[in-house]
Amino acid sequence: MVTIIARDDMTTTTTRDDSQAALMQQFDRVAETDGLVEKRLSIGGRQVCLKFAGQPLLRRLMPALGHHPEGSGPAELTIHFWDSATPPVEYSLAEWTGLQSVIRPGDDTCWTLIEPGIGLFSRLTQDGNAFVCCRDGNELPVWESAVPLRSLLNAWFAPRGSVVHGAAVGNDQTAVLLAGVGGSGKSSTALTCLAEPDLYHLGDDLVMLTNDPQPVVNSLYNSAKLLPDNLLRFNDLSLSVNPTLPRNPEKETYFLFPKFAEKLAMQRPLKAILLPRVSGETQTSLVSATQAEAWHAIVPVTLTLLGGTRPENIQSIVEIIKRVPVYRLNLGSDRSGIAPVIRRVLDGLETEAEVSR
* Residues sharing a CB contact under 8 Å with residue 77, sequence separation 6 or more, in sequence order: 46, 47, 48, 49, 128, 129, 130, 156
Instruction: With a cut of 60, say whether residue 12 has pLDDT above it.
Output: no
Alpha carbons 55 and 95: distance in angstroms, whole number: 25
Give percent of the chain with pLDDT exceeding 90: 68
For 141-180, b/e burial (b = at least 16 CB within 10 A) is ebbbbbbbbbbbbbbbbbebbbbbbbbbbbbeebbbbbbb
Distance of CA 317 to the CA centre of its chain: 15
- CB of 87 within 8 A of CB of 69? no
162-356: CATH topology is: Rossmann fold (3.40.50)
Q: Which residue has the higher pLDDT, 321 or 252?
A: 321
Q: Where in the chain is the domain with CATH 3.40.50?
A: 162-356
- Adjacent-strand bridge partners of 269: 216
Out of 69-73, 99-103, 136-140, 317-321, least confident range: 99-103
Phi, psi of 199 (to 5 degrees): -115, 155
pTM comes to 0.90
What is the predicted pLDDT for the residue at 106? 53
Per-residue pLDDT tens over the stretch 265-302: 999 999 999 999 999 899 999 999 999 999 999 999 99
pLDDT the model gives residue 349: 84
DSSP 214: S
